[in-house]
Amino acid sequence: MSKVVGIDLGTTNSVIAVMEGSEPTVIINAEGSRLTPSVVAFTKNKEKLVGQLARRQSVLNPVNTISSIKRFMGRRYAEVEGERNRTPYEVRRGKHDEVRVYLPSTDAEITPEEVSGHILRKMKEDAEKYLGESITQAVITVPAYFNDSQRQATKDAGRIAGLEVLRIINEPTAASLAYGIDKRENEKILVWDLGGGTFDVSLLEVGDGILQVLATSGDTRLGGDDYDQEIVNHVAEQFRKDTGVDLRKDRQALQRLIEAAEKAKIELSSVLETTVSLPFITADREGQPLHLESRITRAKFEEITKALSDRCVKPFRQVLSDAKLDVKDLDEVILVGGATRMPRIQELVKSLTSKEPNRTVNPDEVVAIGAAIQAGILAGDVKDMVLLDVTPLTLGVETLGNVMTPVIKRNTTIPVRRAQTFTTTADFQPQVEIHVLQGERQMSRDNRSLGRFNLTGLPAAPRGVPQIEVAFDIDANGILKVTAKDLGTGKEQNITIKASTQLPRDEVDQLVEDAERHAEEDKKTREAVDAKNELEQRIYTVEKSLKDAGDKLSEEDRQNVEKALEKAREALKSEDVETMKKGTQELLDAASKLAEELYRQAQQAQTDTGEPGAGAQDAQAGPQGGEGAQGSRGASEGDVYDAEFHAKGDKKDEKSDEH
């Protein structure tokens, strides 16, 4: 059996590692480096260059050199406006709103998955040369806050590279796996992962060969690239004021400036001042050459990037809150990602945690090492090690009133399966639409739509009769599959969330922030929906009871109930919460009198004949029985949702033992 490799597919650099015996080893690439730049270029001769060779020629060929492609993986064109406006290469919209990069040298377009595939293939070939054998399987890491679409895109990139991706694991989890392999004491570890394009913070418990993720949070649009961009903007703006020329509008000049900004950022981690020097950067209107020279102090750098560093604080606090832990409960803090070398980040971590960060792990390599260990676990080379990861956001379905009904809560350990049983809310409903959502808000519109599918061919039946089980399965890769099954007929339909139907914009922690900010607003909206649903249910129940009563009611009693129904329908149209509540109460009062009269008639019939009268059956048609029982039970038990389908209960299946 060939080796299974672990790959850290990074925004700026990528790393590949493998288990050799009981020890993970970082594989040196063909250029003699442990890091492979995540850069792909196409020359005028249509030659493809990957890694260091691509980076070296980027200044002379900026429009055909693709870097930081990870930020475009699994995302729609409309979601990446900020990113596409600051790349030297041209980003275009595909016919399905996907991102494509235009290459003038080949007059063709290429997808982010293809670009990543080229990077992975180069690393695969380097590993094959190092090991002297064919490589066909890999474990690839992704940011913890990558959504299903981005995870699918990463798997697709692996397939393009000729790799079977055995597992997608979260980068902070991989880092902890590398750190905890020899640990046997129970420890709570905070992983602060600030890479080139993403930021994750995770809290894990390590001990006795088990690594369990307690909580995770992050920002998929925050990383070292953003710090570089602030330097670019600072220097370019100074140059524009001095010369009237905006370097950001010149692709070649921009590429030179981006590279110089990254170099300055790195230098400022060890020195207090550096100079961005770019001779012959451009020319003035007369064609005279212009030179750029700008001094930047560490203090100035930290000033212009303060807003970026401040964005790290909220995910940190969120992860502690989700795990229900305090700072004093932390045993260890690990820094992951090259951007954590910045003194300001190290100071921030130290001030927030009151602990000196652990620097025994190489922040550039630790994720790939963890991926290699996971690969070793899957291949059977690493024993007595179990990895328990979590899903970062709540998953659920849309129910009546555009309400999000959760099925799997965020920070639930994966792999996992959860199921709920729903029913219809319309008589003889032939199908139900299952709308799958991800997010923390109560209303559907405020969450991310993952996909829709229909369960058709439902038998003709009154509302409330069909039993439809909706099951959510999240595999060890964090990829979701949703199944809907009619328990009566056995008909089944499912959807695996694909990249083309996945989440939009992936500053996913913004969902949690929105939930907090709009909590009161959501509460009021939900109250209005609940009031409307209850009133609709009462109107339906009373109408049916009135019909079933037939001529057993006096004309006066019938008119009183019909008047109450008319007022209830008017209240429903108003959509005012208080008006609907009042309408519901008045209708209940009228329905109660209706039930009393029917019950009295039933008793009278029994007294007259000595047997149960004809009205006995009808007495059960009131608001406390028959069709009305569904509404009453839902209100008291809290497990029934008026929806295009109603929740009847919750089944929690055992988590898979396969990790």
Task: Give the residue among 58, 57, 85 at the shortest CA–CA distance from 71.
Answer: 85
Task: Give the residue among 404, 408, 396, 642 at the shortest CA–CA distance from 522.
Answer: 404
Q: Determine whether 193 is an active site residue.
A: yes
Cβ pair 626, 620 in contact under 8 A: yes
Q: What is the pLDDT of residues 282-304, one digit of tens each?
A: 988 888 899 999 999 999 999 99
Helix (H) or strand (E) segment spanning residue 412:
strand 412-414
Could you tell me the pLDDT band of residue 416, with boundaries at 50, 70 and 90?
confident
Could you tell me the pLDDT band of residue 47, with boundaries at 50, 70 and 90?
confident
- The reported pLDDT for the residue numbered 425 is 73
Q: Which residues pair with 395 in a beta bridge?
A: 408, 438
pLDDT of 15 > 90? The answer is yes
Mapped to the 3 state alphabet, what secondary structure does 101-141 carry? EEECCCCEEECHHHHHHHHHHHHHHHHHHHHCCCCCEEEEE
Cα 372 to the center of its chain, rounded Å = 25
Could you tell me the pLDDT band of residue 120, with boundaries at 50, 70 and 90?
very high
Cβ pair 399, 447 in contact under 8 A: no
Could you tell me the pLDDT band of residue 353, with boundaries at 50, 70 and 90?
very high
Cα 99 to the center of its chain, rounded Å = 19
Which tokens is 348 given? 């921030």
- Going by C-beta distance under 8 Å and a sequence separation of 6 or more, which residues neighbour residue 589? 564
Return the minimum-mean-pLDDT range out of 269-273, 295-299, 361-365, 500-504: 500-504
| Rg of the chain in Å (alpha carbons) | 31
Task: Give the residue among 39, 21, 19 at the shortest CA–CA distance from 123.
Answer: 39
Q: Determine whether 536 is an active site residue.
A: no
The residue annotated as part of the active site, out of 148, 171, 475, 627, is: 171
Give the whole-angstrom CA distance, residue 215 versus residue 172.
11
pTM recorded for the entire structure: 0.66
Q: List the Cα angle 637/640/642 in 5-degree steps.
A: 135
Question: Residue range 440-465: average pLDDT?
Answer: 79
Question: Residue range 50-76: average pLDDT?
Answer: 91
Give the whole-angstrom CA distance, residue 412 versus residue 410.
5
Cβ pair 379, 187 in contact under 8 A: no
Task: Look at the block and give the residue holding tokens 């149960």.
Answer: 612
Average pLDDT, the chain: 81
Q: What is the pLDDT of residues 262-272, one digit of tens each?
A: 999 999 999 99
Q: Which residues pair with 98 in a beta bridge?
A: 76
Give the whole-angstrom CA distance, residue 189 versus residue 361.
14
- Going by C-beta distance under 8 Å and a sequence separation of 6 or more, which residues neighbour residue 617? none
Neighbour count for residue 213 (Cβ, 10 Å): 25
pLDDT of 190 > 90? The answer is yes
Give the whole-angstrom CA distance, residue 49 versus residue 41.
5
Task: Look at the block and give the residue holding tokens 């054998």.
Answer: 133
- The reported pLDDT for the residue numbered 496 is 67
- The reported pLDDT for the residue numbered 650 is 45
Cβ pair 147, 493 in contact under 8 A: no
Give all strands of the β-sheet with 199-207 in edge-to-edge order. 332-336, 187-194, 199-207, 210-219, 386-391, 412-414
Cβ pair 173, 374 in contact under 8 A: no
What is the per-residue DSSP string for 545-592? Answer: HHHHHGGGS-HHHHHHHHHHHHHHHHHHHH--HHHHHHHHHHHHHHHH
The residue annotated as part of the active site, out of 126, 193, 219, 332, is: 193
Cβ pair 531, 524 in contact under 8 A: no
Give the whole-angstrom CA distance, residue 443 versus residue 464.
23
Using DSSP, state whether 233 is helix, strand or coil: helix
Give the whole-angstrom CA distance, residue 282 versus residue 266.
25
Question: Residue range 610-626: average pLDDT?
Answer: 40
Could you tell me the pLDDT band of residue 216, with boundaries at 50, 70 and 90?
confident
What are the distances in angstroms from CA 286 to CA 283, 289, 638?
Answer: 8, 9, 76
Task: Look at the block and give the residue holding tokens 């007595």.
Answer: 384
pLDDT of 508 > 70? The answer is no
- The reported pLDDT for the residue numbered 554 is 76
Q: What is the pLDDT of residues 104-116, one digit of tens each?
A: 998 989 889 989 9
Most confident of 23-32, 502-511, 552-561: 23-32
- Going by C-beta distance under 8 Å and a sequence separation of 6 or more, which residues neighbour residue 196? 10, 11, 12, 13, 38, 68, 70, 223, 224, 225, 337, 338, 339
Could you tell me the pLDDT band of residue 638, with boundaries at 50, 70 and 90?
very low
Share of the chain above pLDDT 90, in %: 36
Return the minimum-mean-pLDDT range out of 61-65, 79-83, 453-457: 453-457
Share of the chain above pLDDT 70, in %: 85
Q: Determine whether 230 is an active site residue.
A: no
